């Protein structure tokens, strides 16, 4: 026993902090969400090898990281995540991987929420009585395409910082991405002008950034409180609410059960519009631009179908 | 503000008129006077136009101020009733995340309640039998010590037992070959069930083989272990672990003796493979070697095999199939209690296993079955094995609250049969964070 303990102590004492060494091989980037992975790929191209942890068709709040995810993070040069309190599973994943390069505050970590103008930042004491509230503000900021500019710039800067040999390539691709994004932004604004000012009801409070961009209102949700499944009483209230206000569209993401939304739609004559929270959530949303195209078109068509 | 502007403008006009008209009255030439008057009228006209423009601008600004003040006073959750197309909603409150800055330096603290009501044929006044019981309340505290290590502790309280330290360990990452080390009191990585907290179980109670061989609350000891993770063949992920633990065993188990200074060595190898994006298979093999009494000999070897298949059939449904098998090899056929001197005869090759199916068939509902069989180490009993069958239903009230109803039928080695019904409520507040399995 004494020998074992002595051996362990020698092992620990012999270690120096591991210096960061960035080789010529592609940077190994792990992102929590598939949307971030696509943005990293747009900027990093062949200079990066990017994978994501959360399967896009699952609710990003409740992912169960697998040993294969632990291995990915353990080998990662850079971890890109949403920050705030979206990925509650990120802490145990980081602890299991034990890769100090990507720990919070280290060079290999990028929190994309930094610099984002957050919505719904609490201005009063919080309690679980309010449901699964987000203590730092609504974390679904990547759905606002204007924020993609901030995220893309942050990604390009981080890649340039840790891989200066390819900095010019990252900056060139960033410029191309921003130019393309500006063109598409104008298109999305033009398409969505017809629905500006309209109101919809959503299953979960995960669309405020997209709603702000499109100029639509979302005041009520099928979940009576965040994370609390809808019950009959609340659905009854929503039925009255929608009928009173003439709301004809219910919005939800793919990973929530459609049963409650369908039932409410049947009682109110509304249409259920399924949107994607992340790239690759549906085959039609295969990259950042097609994903935004899909969401904007779905909403516009949804309102058209239920005037 | 508007009144002030009008008064000022009127005074200015009066001053200009009096200053202009008085010199006119004294003019010798009427034509010069007429010319001057014409020029002054023109100037006055320009000034009037400028004043009107300024008034218009002020009115617009005042309207904007009024609108902003109205938005500030209006509660965010009470939108005005829409009548036709509405303008774009005002931007909700934006800001930064100060709580994140503060939270990052405070330890994570969570409290977990495991409340169980049991009704059983067993007449013993045991742990929560035929009564409501606060079976376990866990206080979980943890946080980063420095860039290389993290400290986690779990304190367990119960209404039938003394408070206990289930976990208090340091995790250290900066080891050679990317190894991770733990030092302190923790759940070793043995199989799938012996090394987890009760709130992580699929059933209310532990499988019989875990209870009999490792302890009624799982197996947690003080010691140290090292874990690595690497790519294996065929796209597998391998996670080898080796460790040394203090002697002894968990509550009610008899695999090792009670002498804590005689260490137990353990090793575990996990092999994991993603079958699809939503399904995976995990196989594990565990080995423990320790002492059954106070001497230095390692008389007891335990070999464990485990397999888990997990399939997320949809974003809200999940199927878990799990099984574990343990086989012991005991060099000593007899054990002598160091305090009482009593002699116990042992089965030299006892074994036990369980099979579990847990199906979450709806976002809030799950159900499952478990079959148990475990041969006892102590051969004094007549039937030589405990076996049982359990069925359970789980209701997920919310992310932090869960209810479980379980029926269990057991046929015990002591020839007793027992039917029991459990109702369990598990509730979490604060940061509830256990290590990944």
The 3-class secondary structure across B285-318, one letter per residue, is EEEEEECCCCCCCCCEEEEEEEEEEEEEEECCEE
CB A44 within 8 A of CB A50: yes
A127 in contact with chain B, both atoms CB, cutoff 8 A: no
A257·B363 Cβ contact <8 A: yes
Sorted by sequence, the CB contacts under 8 Å of residue A29 that are 6+ apart come out as A37, A40, A44, A48, A49, A50, A51, A76, A77, A78, A79, A80
A95 interaction partners in chain B (CB closer than 8 Å): 150, 171, 435-436
A15·B176 Cβ contact <8 A: yes
Q: What is the pLDDT of residues A210-256, one digit of tens each?
A: 999 999 999 999 998 888 888 889 999 999 999 999 999 999 999 88
Q: What percentage of chain A exceeds 90 in pLDDT? A: 67
A residues 1-40 near B, CB within 8 Å?
Answer: 1, 4-5, 8, 11-12, 14-15, 17-18
For residue A3, pLDDT over 70 is answered with no
| Residue spans of beta strands (DSSP E) within B6-106 | 94-95
CB B346 within 8 A of CB B379: yes
Q: What is the pLDDT of residue B222?
A: 94
- Of the candidates A71, A93, A212, which has its C-beta nearest B237's C-beta? A71
CB A278 within 8 A of CB A34: yes
User: Which helix (DSSP H) or strand (DSSP E) does residue A108 occupy?
Assistant: none
| CA B33 – CA B23 distance, rounded (Å) | 9
| CA B152 – CA B187 distance, rounded (Å) | 12
B237·A196 Cβ contact <8 A: no
Q: What is the pLDDT of residues A102-139, one digit of tens each?
A: 998 899 999 999 999 999 888 877 777 777 778 888 99
Banded model confidence at residue A2, pLDDT cuts 50, 70, 90: low
Q: Record the tokens describing residue B75, joined without a space.
A: 């509660």
CA-based nearest residue to B437, from A146, A143, A47, A64: A64
For chain B, the residue count is: 437
User: Which helix (DSSP H) or strand (DSSP E) does residue B413 occupy?
Assistant: none
CB B246 within 8 A of CB B254: no
A211 interaction partners in chain B (CB closer than 8 Å): 89
Nearest CA in chain A to B228: A97
CB B335 within 8 A of CB B343: yes
A118·B96 Cβ contact <8 A: yes
DSSP letter for B416, please: -
Q: How far is A92 from chain B (nearest CA, A)?
A: 6
Give me the mean pLDDT over the A83-105 stretch: 89
- What's the burial of A120, exposed, middle or buried (CB within 10 Å: 0-12/13-18/19+)? buried
CA-based nearest residue to B326, from B290, B287, B365: B287
| CA A204 – CA A252 distance, rounded (Å) | 7
Q: How far is A168 from chain B (nearest CA, A)?
A: 31
Token pair 């779990």: residue: B154
Nearest CA in chain A to B364: A229
Q: Of A1-15, A282-296, B49-63, B163-177, which gets the smallest average pLDDT?
A: A1-15
| Residue spans of beta strands (DSSP E) within B200-316 | 221-227, 230-231, 237-245, 264-274, 279-290, 300-314
DSSP letter for B176, please: G
Q: What is chain A's alpha carbon radius of gyration, rounded to the nearest angstrom?
A: 22
Q: What is chain B's alpha carbon radius of gyration, rounded to the nearest angstrom?
A: 39
Q: Record the tokens describing residue B214, joined without a space.
A: 């490792």
CA dist B189 → B130, B152, B220 (Å) = 33, 16, 10
A130 in contact with chain B, both atoms CB, cutoff 8 A: no
- Which residue in A3, A54, A98, A228 has the most chain B C-beta atoms within 10 A of its own C-beta, making it the best mutation to test that interface? A98
- Of the candidates B100, B108, B176, which has its C-beta nearest A136's C-beta? B100
What is the SS3 assignment for B377? coil
B82·A244 Cβ contact <8 A: no
Nearest CA in chain A to B280: A66
CB atoms within 10 A of CB A249: 25
CA-based nearest residue to B335, from B347, B353, B326: B347
Burial B181-191 (b: 16+ CB within 10 A, else e): bbbbbbbbbbb
| CA B321 – CA B406 distance, rounded (Å) | 18
- Of the candidates A57, A66, A122, which has its C-beta nearest B272's C-beta? A66
CA dist A146 → A142, A151, A294 (Å) = 9, 9, 17
B360 interaction partners in chain A (CB closer than 8 Å): none
Burial A207-218 (b: 16+ CB within 10 A, else e): bbbbbbbbbbbb
Q: How far is B280 from chain A (nearest CA, A)?
A: 9
Nearest CA in chain A to B276: A55
Nearest CA in chain B to A139: B97
Give me the mean pLDDT over the A36-60 stretch: 94
B88 interaction partners in chain A (CB closer than 8 Å): 196-197, 215
CA dist A203 → A249, A275, B239 (Å) = 11, 11, 40
Nearest CA in chain A to B260: A1
A108 in contact with chain B, both atoms CB, cutoff 8 A: no
B229 interaction partners in chain A (CB closer than 8 Å): 67, 70-71, 74, 97
A93·B436 Cβ contact <8 A: yes
CB B353 within 8 A of CB B328: no
Nearest CA in chain B to A217: B89
Supply the CATH classification number for the domain A193-305.
3.40.50.1980
A290 in contact with chain B, both atoms CB, cutoff 8 A: no
Q: How far is B272 from chain A (nearest CA, A)?
A: 7
A8 interaction partners in chain B (CB closer than 8 Å): 181, 183, 224
Which residues of chain B are under the pLDDT cut of 50?
A: 1-8, 11-27, 73-93, 96-100
Domain parsing of chain A, residue ranges: 24-115+128-186, 193-305
pTM of the model: 0.77
Q: What is the pLDDT of residue B381?
A: 60
A residues 42-81 near B, CB within 8 Å?
Answer: 55, 57-59, 62, 65-68, 70-71, 74
3-state helix, strand, coil in chain B (%, to 5): 20, 45, 35
| CA B366 – CA B35 distance, rounded (Å) | 99
Q: What is the pLDDT of residue B159?
A: 84
Sorted by sequence, the CB contacts under 8 Å of residue A204 that are 6+ apart come out as A221, A222, A223, A226, A252, A253, A256
How does the average pLDDT of chain A come out, rounded? 88
φ, ψ of residue B177 in degrees (nearest 5): 55, 30
For residue A13, pLDDT over 80 is answered with no
Q: How far is A277 from chain B (nearest CA, A)?
A: 13
B289 interaction partners in chain A (CB closer than 8 Å): none
Q: What is the DSSP string of A213-266?
A: HHT-EEEEESSSSTTPPP-HHHHHHHHHHHHHHT--EEEEETTS-SHHHHHHHH
Q: What is the pLDDT of residue A307?
A: 59
Asked, colleague to colleague, whether A24-115+128-186 and A193-305 share their fold, the answer is yes
- Of the candidates A12, A120, A128, which has its C-beta nearest B172's C-beta? A12
CA dist A248 → A57, A244, A272, A273, A307 (Å) = 26, 11, 9, 10, 7
B436·A70 Cβ contact <8 A: yes
| CA A3 – CA A273 distance, rounded (Å) | 65
| CA B308 – CA B197 distance, rounded (Å) | 18
CATH 3.40.50.1980 fits A24-115+128-186, yes or no: yes
Nearest CA in chain A to B242: A4
Q: What is the pLDDT of residue B348?
A: 83
| CA A98 – CA A115 distance, rounded (Å) | 27
Give me the mean pLDDT over the A270-278 stretch: 93
- Which residue in A3, A88, A95 has the most chain B C-beta atoms within 10 A of its own C-beta, making it the best mutation to test that interface? A95
For residue A12, pLDDT over 80 is answered with no
- Which residue in B72, B83, B97, B361 has the most chain A C-beta atoms within 10 A of its own C-beta, making it the best mutation to test that interface? B97
CB A88 within 8 A of CB A115: no
CB A259 within 8 A of CB A267: no
CB A214 within 8 A of CB A164: no
In total, the C-beta contacts within 8 angstroms joining chain A to chain B are 162
Nearest CA in chain B to A12: B175
B90 interaction partners in chain A (CB closer than 8 Å): none
B92·A95 Cβ contact <8 A: no
Q: How far is B271 from chain A (nearest CA, A)?
A: 9
Q: What is the pLDDT of residue B40?
A: 81
């Amino acid at each position: 026993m004494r020998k074992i303990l002595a051996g362990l102590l020698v092992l620990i004492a012999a270690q120096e902090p591991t210096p960061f060494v960035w080789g010529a091989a592609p940077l190994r980037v792990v992102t929590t969400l598939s949307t971030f992975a696509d943005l990293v790929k747009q900027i990093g191209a062949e200079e990066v090898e990017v994978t994501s942890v959360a399967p896009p068709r699952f609710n990003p709040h409740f992912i169960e990281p697998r040993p294969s995810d632990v291995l990915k993070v353990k080998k990662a040069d850079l971890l890109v995540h949403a920050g705030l309190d979206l990925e509650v599973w990120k802490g145990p994943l980081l602890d299991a991987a034990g890769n100090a390069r990507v720990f919070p505050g280290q060079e290999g970590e990028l929190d994309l929420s930094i610099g984002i103008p957050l919505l719904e930042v609490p201005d009063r004491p919080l309690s679980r009585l309010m449901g699964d509230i987000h203590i730092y503000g609504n974390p679904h900021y990547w759905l606002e395409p204007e924020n993609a500019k901030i995220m893309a710039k942050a990604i390009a800067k981080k890649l340039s910082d840790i891989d200066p040999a390819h900095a010019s390539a990252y900056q060139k691709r960033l410029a191309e991405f921003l130019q393309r994004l500006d063109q598409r932004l104008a298109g999305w604004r033009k398409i969505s002008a017809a629905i500006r000012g309209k109101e919809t009801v959503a299953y979960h409070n995960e669309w405020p950034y997209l709603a702000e961009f499109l100029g639509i209102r979302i005041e009520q949700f099928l979940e009576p409180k965040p994370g609390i499944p809808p019950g009959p009483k609340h659905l009854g209230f929503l039925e009255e609410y929608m009928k009173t206000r003439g709301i004809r569209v219910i919005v939800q993401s793919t990973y929530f059960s459609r049963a409650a939304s369908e039932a409410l739609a049947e009682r109110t004559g509304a249409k259920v519009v399924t949107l994607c929270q992340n790239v690759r959530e549906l085959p039609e949303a295969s990259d950042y631009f097609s994903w935004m195209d899909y969401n904007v078109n779905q909403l516009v068509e949804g309102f058209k179908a239920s005037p | 503000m508007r009144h002030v502007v009008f008064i000022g403008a009127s005074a200015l006009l009066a001053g200009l008129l009096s200053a202009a008209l008085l010199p006119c009255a004294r003019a010798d030439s009427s034509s010069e006077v007429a010319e001057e008057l014409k020029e002054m009228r023109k100037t006055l006209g320009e000034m009037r136009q400028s004043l009107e423009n300024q008034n218009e601008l002020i009115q617009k600004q005042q309207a904007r101020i009024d609108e902003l003040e109205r938005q500030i006073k209006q509660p965010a959750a009470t939108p005005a009733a829409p009548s036709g197309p509405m303008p774009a909603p005002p931007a909700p409150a934006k800001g930064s995340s100060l709580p994140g800055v503060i939270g990052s330096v405070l330890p994570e603290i969570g409290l977990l309640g495991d409340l169980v009501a049991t009704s059983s044929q067993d007449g013993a006044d045991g742990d929560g039998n035929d009564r409501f019981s606060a079976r376990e309340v866990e206080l979980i505290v943890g946080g980063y010590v420095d860039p290389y290590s993290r400290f986690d502790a779990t304190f367990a309280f119960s209404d039938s037992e003394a408070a206990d330290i289930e976990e208090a360990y340091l995790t250290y990452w900066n080891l050679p070959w990317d190894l991770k080390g733990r030092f302190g009191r923790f759940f070793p990585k043995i199989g799938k069930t012996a090394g987890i907290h009760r709130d992580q179980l699929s059933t209310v109670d532990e499988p019989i083989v875990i209870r009999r061989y490792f302890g009624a609350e799982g197996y947690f000891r003080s010691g140290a272990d090292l874990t690595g993770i690497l790519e294996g063949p065929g796209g597998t992920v391998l996670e080898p672990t080796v460790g040394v633990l203090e002697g002894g065993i968990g509550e009610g188990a008899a695999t090792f003796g009670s002498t804590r200074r005689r260490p137990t060595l353990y090793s575990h190898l996990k092999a994991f493979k993603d079958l699809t994006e939503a399904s995976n298979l995990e196989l594990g093999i565990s080995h423990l070697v320790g002492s059954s009494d106070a001497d230095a000999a390692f008389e007891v070897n335990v070999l464990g095999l485990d397999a888990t298949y997990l399939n997320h059939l949809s974003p809200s449904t999940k199927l878990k199939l799990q099984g574990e098998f343990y086989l012991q090899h005991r060099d000593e056929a007899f054990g002598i209690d160091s305090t009482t001197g009593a002699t116990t005869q042992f089965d030299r090759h006892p074994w036990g296993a369980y099979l579990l199916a847990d199906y979450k068939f709806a976002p809030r509902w799950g159900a499952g079955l478990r079959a148990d069989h475990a041969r006892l180490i102590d051969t004094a009993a007549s039937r030589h094995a405990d076996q049982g069958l359990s069925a359970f239903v789980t209701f997920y009230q919310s992310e932090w609250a869960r209810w479980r109803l379980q029926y269990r039928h057991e046929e015990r080695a002591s020839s007793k049969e027992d039917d029991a019904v459990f109702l369990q409520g598990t509730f979490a507040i604060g940061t509830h964070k256990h290590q990944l399995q």
